């Protein structure tokens, strides 16, 4: 059974590989060369095999050495990142790095993240993008949390965990001039009306397509927009009717100057927090997940 690895041994081995020689690494680390060589040999003793092929004049890695270097590269990077995070938390409070799926309404995102902002000295970093890209960032520990309208895809070899935030119905909106031209009641008024839809393949788009088909409604699709903020901008300008979560309906009306066309409680949107922790320990992530009950009106 292997002994426990020594972090410093990995750092010294990594430094030697990156510098190209033990001598150059020793100078960078301000260590005596025999000391550094001894540390690397201790790592080899723990692993039970040599990491360098010492038969030639060059510092060549053995097959095991290449494997260990790949792990050491990640461990050294994470070690440096840990020091930065701890220093940042001490100076500024907890840092929360969040990835937001493009399709999520930004008003909803703000309400979900608001509890994390309420922590003393909290610092928020947010980026949006495609969920696959954000999940890779989460896996690489460059994000603490991903907000999405879908759980982690099944069958994907990814150490990420789903935390259900909540669900709500869907409300349809349009510019007041367009609403005045519609013939009630809802949802029949959608038939033949201009409609702005989220991009194909998104959970809301699939749910909307199924709902419209089930009711036999045939709106005129005037646009398919992936970004939720841009979708609302088109709707605000009068281009068509658009949908948003009922949980933020009041805010959508107030911010965009649109009117409610109707609400479909059976068009359900579900929202998730994806994290690298099964049991959440990050204080800001915990605040976001527990605070979601106030956004959706029920415990997720």
pLDDT, tens digit, for every residue of 232-260?
A: 999 999 999 999 999 999 999 999 999 99
Name the burial class of residue 95, with classes exposed (0-12), middle (13-18) and buried (19+) by CB atoms within 10 angstroms of its CB. Answer: middle
**Rounded to the nearest 5°, which phi and psi values hold at 43?**
-65, -45
Per the model's pLDDT, the better-predicted residue between 262 and 94 turns out to be 262
> What was the pLDDT predicted at 1?
41
Reported as a pLDDT band with limits 50, 70 and 90, residue 79 is: confident
CA 162 vs CA 30, 79, 87, 120: distances in Å:
46, 26, 29, 26
> Would you kindly state where each structural domain of the chain is located, as residue ranges?
7-89, 93-300
Percent of the chain clearing pLDDT 90 (strictly above):
60
Name every residue whose Cβ is closer than 8 Å to that of residue 227 and which is 6 or more positions away in sequence.
Answer: 102, 103
| Region of residue 84 (left: phi > 0; alpha: psi -120 to 50; beta: else) | alpha
Reported as a pLDDT band with limits 50, 70 and 90, residue 87 is: low
Reported as a pLDDT band with limits 50, 70 and 90, residue 59 is: confident
> What was the pLDDT predicted at 154?
78
Secondary structure in 3-state letters for 7-61: HHHHHHHHHHHHHCCHHHHHHHHCCCHHHHHHHHHHHHHHHCCCCEECCCCCCEE
Reported as a pLDDT band with limits 50, 70 and 90, residue 208 is: very high
> What was the pLDDT predicted at 156?
67
Average pLDDT, the chain: 88
Angle (nearest 5°) at CA 43 between 41 and 48: 90
Q: Is the pLDDT of residue 143 over 70?
A: yes
> What was the pLDDT predicted at 255?
94
* Residue 102 near residue 128, CB atoms below 8 Å: yes
Instruction: Evaluate the omega torsion of the peptide bond into residue 255 and state whether it is cis, within 30 degrees of 0.
Output: no
CATH of domain 7-89: 1.10.10.10
Q: How big is the chain by its Cα radius of gyration, in Å?
A: 27
> What was the pLDDT predicted at 188?
97
Would you tell me the crossing angle of helices 228-236 and 249-256 to the nearest 10 degrees?
60
> What was the pLDDT predicted at 142?
87
Q: Is the pLDDT of residue 271 over 80?
A: yes
Name the burial class of residue 167, with classes exposed (0-12), middle (13-18) and buried (19+) by CB atoms within 10 angstroms of its CB. Answer: middle
| Fold of the domain spanning 93-300 | D-Maltodextrin-Binding Protein; domain 2 (3.40.190)
Q: Is the pLDDT of residue 92 over 90?
A: no
> What was the pLDDT predicted at 57?
65
The C-alpha atoms of residue 97 and residue 84 are separated, in whole angstroms, by: 14
Q: Which two tokens stand for residue 132?
A: 């696959």
Reported as a pLDDT band with limits 50, 70 and 90, residue 86 is: low
> What was the pLDDT predicted at 76?
83
Helices (H), 149-271: 176-181, 203-215, 228-236, 249-256
* Residue 122 near residue 284, CB atoms below 8 Å: yes
Residue with tokens 């519609």: 182
Q: Is 168 helix (H, G, I), strand (E, B) or coil?
A: strand
Name every residue whose Cβ is closer than 8 Å to that of residue 25 and which is 6 or more positions away in sequence.
Answer: 12, 15, 16, 18, 19, 36
Q: How many CB atoms lie under 10 A from the CB of residue 101?
A: 26
> What was the pLDDT predicted at 172?
98
């Amino acid at each position: 059974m292997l002994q426990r690895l020594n972090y410093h041994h990995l750092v010294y081995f990594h430094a030697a590989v990156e510098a190209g020689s033990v001598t150059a690494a020793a100078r960078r680390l301000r260590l005596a060369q025999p000391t550094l060589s001894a540390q690397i040999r201790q790592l080899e003793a723990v692993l039970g095999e040599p990491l360098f092929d010492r038969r030639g004049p060059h510092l060549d890695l053995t097959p095991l050495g290449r494997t260990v270097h790949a792990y050491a590269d990640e461990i050294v990077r994470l070690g440096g990142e840990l020091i930065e995070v701890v220093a940042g938390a001490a100076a500024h409070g907890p840092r929360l790095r969040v990835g937001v799926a493009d399709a999520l309404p930004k008003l909803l995102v703000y309400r979900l993240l608001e509890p994390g902002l309420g922590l003393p000295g909290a610092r928020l970093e947010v980026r949006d993008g495609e969920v696959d890209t954000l999940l890779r960032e989460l896996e690489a520990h460059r994000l603490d949390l991903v907000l999405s309208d879908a759980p982690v895809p099944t069958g994907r070899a990814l150490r990420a965990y789903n935390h259900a935030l909540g669900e709500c119905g869907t409300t349809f909106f349009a510019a007041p001039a367009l609403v005045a031209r519609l013939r009630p009641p809802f949802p029949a008024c959608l038939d033949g009306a201009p409609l702005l839809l989220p991009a194909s393949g998104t959970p809301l788009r699939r749910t909307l397509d199924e709902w419209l088909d089930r009711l036999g409604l045939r709106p005129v699709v005037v646009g398919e927009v992936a970004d939720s903020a841009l979708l609302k901008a088109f709707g605000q300008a009068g281009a068509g009717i658009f949908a948003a979560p009922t949980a933020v309906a009041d805010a959508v009306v107030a911010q965009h100057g649109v009117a409610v066309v109707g609400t479909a409680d059976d068009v359900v949107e579900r929202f998730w927090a994806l994290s690298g922790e099964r049991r959440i320990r990050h204080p800001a992530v915990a605040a976001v997940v527990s605070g979601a009950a106030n956004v959706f009106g029920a415990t997720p």
